[in-house]
A and B are shown apart, each in its own frame.
Chain A
Amino acid sequence: MSINGKAYIAGVYEHPTRKADDKSLAQLHAEVAKGALEDAGLTKADVDGYFCAGDAPGLGGLSMADYMGLKLRHIDTTETGGSSYVIHVTHAAQAIVAGKCNVALITLAGRPRSEGMATGTAPRNAGANTPDVAFEFPFAPATANMYAMAAMRHMHEFGTTSAQLAWIKVAASHHAQHNPHAMLRDVVTVEDVVNSPMITDPLHRLDCCVISDGGGAIIVARPEVAKSLKRPRVKVLGGGEAVKHQMGGKIDLTYTGARWSGPDAFAEAGVTPADIKYASIYDSFTITVLITLEDLGFCAKGQGGKFVSDGNLISGVGKLPFNTDGGGLCNNHPANRGGLTKVVEAVRQLRGEAHPKVQVKNCGIALAHGTGGSLGTRHGSATVIMGRD
């Protein structure tokens, strides 16, 4: 049962806020839902499928369906951290193909900035029932040092350098200068990145994404519904998902689950990396992008450093324009979960609605990839490929 061409992204919305100390979490979810429905030209009454993840308050999908007043035939609260919403797009398309819903709403929201969360540097205890906690938490794993260990190993095995990683941030900053909502709009240089304070070796401050409040929403619709709307049409071509973990102690941090989710998505879409005109790549840290690009097949394993250098990811300059909204590194990382905004910018590109300074010409096929959890321990990988109709 392929989803290729059988579901459309009918609406997307990224909340403009980056600091929401005047709003509740449920309110943010409802605001982004409203925004995406208005973008599509649909109403709440059209929604019969709802998707959310661990950022939703209370009982998740139940609490939010109650708050928003949704009448549902289908619900899916698949939780794979920041990659959840990319998986939700694929799951929504599958539910539509299976006849389980016609219009699926996906929401994400969070307020880590208002709540003063030290997202990257403070170890968080997942609770004594989590089987790894006793064997990890005493050693103070935070988010940043887990990704840093993947970077350190990549440098050791392949000779990847801090300057190469810095090019990823440089490219994101070139894009963010055109996004009025981006948290960080200043263009930075490789020198700026490698001279910024070391957070956890080898990751510098500018190798890390922003901490922002906000959220976003996506509407996935049955073709008949999408074709009745006035918006440029974007269809789902293929999706893939995978979980990468510690393999019982046979740990290898040089690759991600994109090694598996990518080929699944490409096969379903019937395209290859060479066909992708624009890529949204989850950028919690610069190293996340570099390893993911290798695993998705945009370059050979170990060649990511060379691939991202010299502006190769800058729209209008390089071969693979990426994260033209500024990504998590410069624009927005709402709820510490960047998967949803990855899909949003890919849809903007396919619609021809990205900022004119970063819009990719003839952008017919785009990819969005999410990485949720931790590269250093266990993570969910999700790839979705979309095409202009």
Chain B
Amino acid sequence: MATAERKIDAPAPAPETKAFWDAASAGRLVIKRCAACGESHYYPRSICPFCGSDKTEWRDVSGRGTIYTYSVMRRAPVPYAIAYVTLEEGVTMMTNIVDCDLNAIRVGQKVRVVFKPTDGGPPVPMFTPA
């Protein structure tokens, strides 16, 4: 599969996002939810981008979602599909669609998370057809 051949840049965890990457290393996808206003957000922050409260908490999510949009980059050593996936829990995240025929990807397609190794860092959440 194409993505397996692409060297994936290692994310650099920051203190406020270390829990996300620790969870990823354990095969779990987590997002931040605000205890004050109830909104979930992505990418994770310590202060809620909706209400400004610092009462944000990590929550496990199902890892299931839907492709909001995508694009297959053809002008690359190894073509790859970048996408936004909307999780069942409501937030939309940037990712890659992997382990599939890149020409068969569709907006609205159901996908599930798979963690892929990076070049010397924690694994990153990608998605594959459910």
A→B interface (CB under 8 Å)? 121, 125, 128, 131-142, 144-146, 148-153, 156, 197-203, 246, 248-251, 253, 377
B8 within 8 A of A: yes
CB distance from A139 to the nearest CB of B (A): 5
Q: How far is the CA of A140 from the CA of B124 in the complex (A)?
A: 12
Q: Which residues of A contact B17 (CB under 8 A)?
A: 134-135
Q: Which residues of B contact A142 (CB under 8 A)?
A: 73
Contact B73 A248 (CB under 8 A): no
Contact B75 A133 (CB under 8 A): no
CB distance from A121 to the nearest CB of B (A): 4
CB distance from B41 to the nearest CB of A (A): 4
Given contacts A145-B73, A149-B69, A152-B71, whether A140 and B12 have CB atoms under 8 Å apart is: no
Given contacts A133-B12, A138-B8, A249-B41, whether A201 and B76 have CB atoms under 8 Å apart is: no
Q: How far is the CA of A150 from the CA of B50 in the complex (A)?
A: 24
A139 contact from B12, B31, B45, B94, Cβ within 8 A: B94
Contact B94 A148 (CB under 8 A): no
B11 contact from A135, A148, A251, Cβ within 8 A: A135
Q: Which residues of B contact A135 (CB under 8 A)?
A: 11, 17, 42-44, 93-94
Closest B residue to A254 using CB positions: B69
Given contacts A139-B94, A249-B42, whether A134 and B108 have CB atoms under 8 Å apart is: no
Closest B residue to A377 using CB positions: B94
Task: Count residues of B near A (Cβ-Cβ below 8 Å).
Answer: 47
Closest B residue to A137 using CB positions: B9
Closest A residue to B16 using CB positions: A131
B10 contact from A121, A138, A152, A202, Cβ within 8 A: A138
Given contacts A149-B84, A199-B74, whether A131 and B12 have CB atoms under 8 Å apart is: no
Residue interface mask B58-83, A partner, CB < 8 A = 1 = 00000000001111111110001011
Question: Could you write out 9 A-B pairs with CB less than 8 Å apart?
Answer: A121-B76, A133-B12, A138-B124, A140-B80, A149-B70, A199-B73, A201-B70, A248-B39, A253-B69
B118 within 8 A of A: yes
Q: Which residues of B contact A250 (CB under 8 A)?
A: 90-92
Closest A residue to B34 using CB positions: A248
B38 within 8 A of A: no
CB distance from B30 to the nearest CB of A (A): 12
Contact B72 A200 (CB under 8 A): yes
Q: Which residues of B contact A148 (CB under 8 A)?
A: 71
CB distance from B32 to the nearest CB of A (A): 9
Q: Which residues of B contact A134 (CB under 8 A)?
A: 11-14, 17, 21, 43
A249 contact from B70, B73, B92, Cβ within 8 A: B92
